[in-house]
Amino acid sequence: MMATAPSYPPPAATPVVAVLSPQYCVGHAVEFTITRKMMTMEAGTFGITDANGNIVFKVKGKFLSLHDRRVLLDAAGNPIITFQQKMMTAHRRWQAFRGESTDPKDMIFSVRKSKMMMMMKTKLSVFMAANVGEEHSDFRIQGNWWETACNIYVGDTDNIVAQMHRKHSAQSILLGKDTFCVTIYPNVDHAFIVALVVILEEINQDRRAS
């Protein structure tokens, strides 16, 4: 049975959140569909389409990569972000870098699993590279993963910048695909939000596997 999409409040006025570039920000809310293609030789392969079904981004995994490396590409195949899991850390952490770099000087942000992450809850903290002390997160991802929905907030505020829910259908199961619908609020960086949703899914895949 197809899951019923949660009902969301209308997008509130949000500040411009241009983490990668203003070119990925528009003055109105947009909806993307993110599809994880599971029946593929490359782990971590995703396609991201707009409301008209046009490809806007792609995510490709590095097969047998030591660090679970993923690359976010634009529709033309140009690399935007490389993100990978940081090894040997107390709390699961992913780091995101500009382009195809993994040099620390090119790091944009990192995502860390909450120290108090509950079995049935999702809570991730997002830190910009300049936030060295990490006393407070710049963004946070919070929700009930098993209810298939979560919100992305600015820091510790109630200011939502994006919302995600998972779609279940017989067709998606047969085709070996996981599908997510993402609503990105006005003036918020599309590439940044897509990267966060993909990292969220990778962390939860690891959690389910363990």
pLDDT digits over 196-207, tens only?
998 888 877 655
Which of left, alpha, beta for 208 (phi over 0: left; psi -120 to 50: alpha)?
alpha
Q: Is residue 128 part of a domain?
A: yes
Is 142 inside any structural domain? yes
Residue 134 lies in a domain: yes
Residue 127 lies in a domain: yes
Are the CB atoms for 152 and 196 separated by under 8 Å? Answer: yes
Q: How many CB atoms lie within 10 A of CB 185?
A: 21
Amino acid, single-letter form, for residue 113: K
Q: Which domain holds residue 158?
A: 22-186
* Predicted TM-score of the model (pTM): 0.82
Chain segment 150-186, per-residue pLDDT in tens: 899 999 899 999 999 877 655 544 544 678 899 999 9
Q: Considering the domain boundaries, does residue 150 fall inside one?
A: yes
Statement: residue 11 has pLDDT above 70: no
Amino acid at 17: V
CATH number for 62: 2.40.160.200
Task: Please state, for a pLDDT cut of 70, what percent of the chain lies above it.
Answer: 71
120 within domain boundaries: yes
Task: Give the side-chain half-sphere CA count within 13 A for 43.
Answer: 14
Distance (Å, whole) CA 86 – CA 102: 11
Find the farthest-apart pair of alpha carbons in the chain and give their distance in angstroms, rounded: 47
Domain count, the chain: 1
8 lies in some domain: no
